[in-house]
Amino acid sequence: MTGIRQVARVMFASSLFALLAAGIGAIPATSAGASAKTITIGASLPLTGPLGGLGADQEIGYKAEVNDVNRAGGLEIGRTKYKINLKIMNNASTATTASNQARALVTRDGAIALLGGATPTISVPQADVATLLHVPFVTTNNPDDAFGSANPRGWKYAWDMFFKEQTQAKVVAKWANVCSSNKKVALFTDTEKDGIFERPLYEAAAKSNGDSVVGTYTFPPPTTTFASFITSAKAAGAQIVIGQMLPTAGIALVKQMKSLGFHPDVVILTKAANAENWWKGLGSLATGSGMELTWSPAARYSGTAKILKTWGKKLSVDTLASAVPDFGAAQVLFHAITKAGTTNAAKVNAAIAKTNGKFAVGHVKFSKNHTAVTPYRVGQWVHGKVLQVYPPAPGVKTECPMPGLK
């Protein structure tokens, strides 16, 4: 991912120089994207490509909050209400495109602020653009430390709200031991920034639970052939499989595990299993597999009842688990704009920094590295639906060993 980011930054820097030379680079308080009582908010999302499932869920969440605001008459800025024009572009899961689109949304379409795409691969290049153009950028679906450390100088205009990687590793390891007494772990992680960051944390969490990591397998995206790794893990007697990878890789891994006769008790492939295309790609093979829940109706956060009664009626928990955090990110941004009482970028950014309240994803308060910690849970795929299994939810029991591979 580092190479991609470097190319994106070089391309962006040359384009930015020309823009700055023409006097472009700051967003006026009202004229750009705020005429005729309308403001434009931009979002470049991975609607297709390897991250397509996550991007589609993000679009649902962002649009839901924009629709809520517009139905209520618009966003109050000062003493005037402005309708929100949400401009969404498809970056096709490509970092360079995400960077270029973020720039275009601001300089061409007049976006006064940006909402981010999924994973550091997409969001970090966008955050670089927001920082250079001095435009507020709020995102989610990026583990906090991976995002916070991506800019050694510290983010100025970019903000992320998601879980901490240490919490992810600890919760995943604890749930894995609910389903297996084997204590032998095979770890599959790609070389995306979050995979690199998470790998030693998974190892440490397994060790703290008394587990033994009998196989550590790393690979660059978009790898989808895992036969040698699977053969090794099977020979080592692993019955717990933990992974961090793209959805396309995760689907391929599970299919190959089945075909090669590797039937572990527990499989949880974070990021890979977090969207509806997981079940579409695997069908019954996915039964019993774990997924990370960054939102769950069992948590009963602010607005949960309303979400379930409105747009949540048409969506399953796996989709909501990805969409609601984005709904919350839009809530945070719009709340800050109202608090600032202006579309002035610096004032909106200062208002985001002061965020301290309850939103759809729980309590949000940003730390010095511009991240806000949201809770982490584990869900389990059962007959095409996802149920929260850790921490245990009332009336729900983990199905194990994993039925789909047995």
Q: Is the pLDDT of residue 220 over 70?
A: yes
**The pLDDT of residue 360 is above 60:** yes
Tell me: domain 2-163+301-375, CATH 3.40.50.1820, correct? no
pLDDT over 70 at 4, yes or no: no
Distances (CA, A) of 292 to 304, 322, 355: 18, 10, 25
| In the predicted structure, residue 77 carries a pLDDT above the cut 50 | yes
302-315 pLDDT, tens digit each: 899 999 999 988 99
Tokens of 42: 């931009």
Confidence class of residue 36 from pLDDT cuts 50, 70 and 90? low
Task: Give the contacts of 27 (CB within 8 A, at least 6 positions apart).
Answer: 33, 106, 112, 133, 134, 135, 343, 344, 345
pLDDT of 373 > 60? The answer is: yes
Of 102, 154, 92, the C-alpha closest to 125 is 102
- Mean pLDDT over 118-137 rounds to 96
Helix (H) or strand (E) holding 144: helix 144-148
Backbone phi, psi, residue 186, to 5°: -110, 125
Q: List, for residues 144-163, the tens digit of each pLDDT value.
A: 988 999 999 999 999 999 99
With tokens 């308060």, the residue in question is 365
What's the CATH code, domain 166-293+378-405? 3.40.50.2300
Quickly count: other Cβ atoms within 10 Å of residue 103's Cβ.
Answer: 26
- Residue 230 has a pLDDT of 98
**DSSP reduced 3-state for 315:** coil
Q: Report pTM.
A: 0.84
pLDDT for the residue numbered 15: 42
Tell me where in the chain the CATH 3.40.50.2300 domain(s) lie: 2-163+301-375, 166-293+378-405
